[in-house]
Structure 1
């Protein structure tokens, strides 16, 4: 299993709206891809900005490719992201999951 982590930063004033966007648009998109096992959106408010991490778990590189395209480490953005994000980080991080427990 592969864990894919993306990081984004919004102005704090737009954080609630962006969190709603991620829940309504991004999570269903991730979940629609065969091989996606889990999606979590993490948020940390820090002064005037808010950090978001999307942490997804995938069965294989092939399932990530179905979501992200051939360049597996390239970040994938939605057109709406331009309304929220302060910057567009070009890459995500991948980790091989060595232990995972799903409590159901």
Structure 2
């Protein structure tokens, strides 16, 4: 199993709306991809900025390709992200899951 982590930031005054967008648009996209084993959104507020991390779990690299394309480490963005994100990090991080509880 592969864990895929993405990080993004928004202004704190846009954070609740972005969290709703992730729940309504991004999470169904993740979870609707064959080979996705689950996904979560994490949020941490820091001053006037909110940090978001998505953690998604995948059967294998082929499942990630079906979601994000052939460049496995390239971050996937939605058109709506333009109205929320402070910057667009170009890559995600992958980890091999060694244990789960």
Residue in structure 1 matched with residue 58 of structure 2 by the alignment: 58
Residue in structure 2 matched with residue 76 of structure 1 by the alignment: 76
Q: How far, CA to CA, are the matches of 1:38 and 1:88 in structure 2?
A: 23
Other structure's SS at 2:26 match: helix
CA deviation map 1:26-66 (0-9, x unaligned): 00000110110010100000000000000000000000000
Residue in structure 1 matched with residue 49 of structure 2 by the alignment: 49
What is the Cα-based RMSD across aligned positions, in Å? 0.4
Q: TM-score, normalised to structure 1's length?
A: 0.96
Q: How far, CA to CA, are the matches of 1:64 and 1:8 in structure 2?
A: 19
Residue in structure 1 matched with residue 95 of structure 2 by the alignment: 95
Q: Which runs of 4+ in 1 moved over 2 A?
A: none
**Number of matched residues?**
101
Other structure's SS at 1:19 match: helix
Q: TM-score, normalised to structure 2's length?
A: 0.99
Q: How far, CA to CA, are the matches of 2:3 and 2:20 in structure 1?
A: 23
| Residue ranges of structure 2 left out of the alignment (5+ in a row) | none
